[in-house]
Structure 1
Amino acid sequence: MNKKNIILASSSQRRIDIMHQHGINPAIFPADVDETIPEGAGMEDAVMYLALKKALFVEQMVLKENHEHPVIIAADTVVYKDKIIGKPKDRQDAYDTLWSLRAKEHFVATGVCILQAETSIRHCFYEITKVFFKDFTDQELNAYLDTSEPYDKAGSYAIQGKFGQYVDHIEGDLNNVIGFPWDRIELEFNHIFK
């Protein structure tokens, strides 16, 4: 992966950290877009739609600043259990979400878009991981909701944070649950720019 001239269309510290761990120090351009999902969209289409929307938004920003054909990487993550679950609106929403997932499995889908500004390269894909929660008590859940962790996360939890103790196991990529499936991103990137 060419480590120069890469823009991350996100201010997510988790995504920034994953890129730093792989020797990439991207320019950070948060994508301030309406994250309303088209009605009837499945989780795969929803996350790719939002990732592309973020990448296109950032492309317009960087074109105004005369960057030379940067590669923009955008991502969006949702949790899915009978319906798409995004970030919680408030504490009650976070409580309802996590209580409904207690001692069950659900899916985490991340859509990624790799776009090179002012070129025809617009490549979107998704990764899905199955996550299995342990049982937990109402008291344990409320103690978690007293922290700041759940409120900016799809599905109201961070697997790499305090809530990790309530995850029994996963099937798939852990980084995908964190919100940035790095192995797949690197594979797709190297295929596009071979």
Structure 2
Amino acid sequence: MTASEYILASASPRRSELMRAHGLRFLTVPAEVDETLPPDTDGPDAVMYLSLKKALWVESRYPELAGRRIIAADTVVCTRRILGKPADIGEAREMITELRGAVHHVYTGVTLLVAGEPRRRCFCEGTKVFVRNISDPAVEAYIRTQEPYDKAGGYAIQGTFGKYIDHIEGDFENVVGLPCRRMLQELARL
């Protein structure tokens, strides 16, 4: 492995883009974990649980990372339930239909740790998202694009779906997948 300031335990191109935009040098080492949640887990607990699981997986698999700072994150969209990534067009339709004309929360859990050391920080950032009422034909057109299928809740606020967002309350980058301002504050405390 090459030297870099941070290890990003994620394959998300959106998280990589956000880290680069904030001037962070990092190496990507995607975590391979089972994302099954314990029963009755709410959004904030779910994302902190999964981000911790990812960070610990990378730390345990790569002992040569000792002393390096690992960053892991997980994002979910929550209505009355947790919406993950849609598996198919039917799930994408169901999710977008549920989100339209309504308010939902986006939670991103972030775990920061120094590999091989007891220093760890885990936090959750939440953003409230207000979606415009979208017509059935617009829903159908959107779910036939590739955009919904690798994103929590079936949408990307920074993508074509952004035109359907009325407004948000909170951190835009959190909705994209990594609340960098908060993360940088927590890294300074780590």
**Counterpart in the other structure of 1:141:** 139
Cα distance in 2 for partners of 1:5, 1:183 equals 17
3-state secondary structure, aligned to 2:104: strand
CA-CA distance at 1:22 after TM superposition: 1.4
Cα distance in 1 for partners of 2:115, 2:102 equals 42
Normalising by structure 1, report the TM-score: 0.94
Over 6 Å off, 4+ runs: none
CA-CA distance at 1:23 after TM superposition: 1.3
Cα distance in 2 for partners of 1:54, 1:27 equals 15
Unpaired stretches in structure 2, ≥5 consecutive residues: none
**Counterpart in the other structure of 1:37:** 37
Aligned partner letter, 2:117: T
- The alignment yields a C-alpha RMSD, in angstroms, of 1.2
Distance 1:181 1:73, change over 3 A: same
Aligned partner letter, 2:23: G
Cα distance in 2 for partners of 1:173, 1:40 equals 26
Cα distance in 2 for partners of 1:89, 1:45 equals 23
Cα distance in 1 for partners of 2:65, 2:30 equals 16
Contact kept, 8 Å, 2:4 with 2:27, in 1: the verdict is no
Counterpart check, 1:12 vs 2:12 = yes
Cα deviation 1:16-44 (Å, max 9, x = unaligned): 01111111121000111111111111111
Q: How does 1:1-194 map to 2 (within 5 A)?
A: 4-63=4-63, 66-192=64-190
3-state secondary structure, aligned to 2:65: coil
Cα distance in 2 for partners of 1:84, 1:67 equals 33
Normalising by structure 2, report the TM-score: 0.96
CA-CA distance at 1:4 after TM superposition: 4.3
Cα distance in 2 for partners of 1:153, 1:67 equals 29
Cα deviation 1:95-151 (Å, max 9, x = unaligned): 001101110100000000001110001210000000000011111111111111100
CA-CA distance at 1:67 after TM superposition: 2.9
Cα distance in 1 for partners of 2:91, 2:108 equals 21
* Percent of matched pairs sharing the same residue: 49
Equivalenced residue count is 188
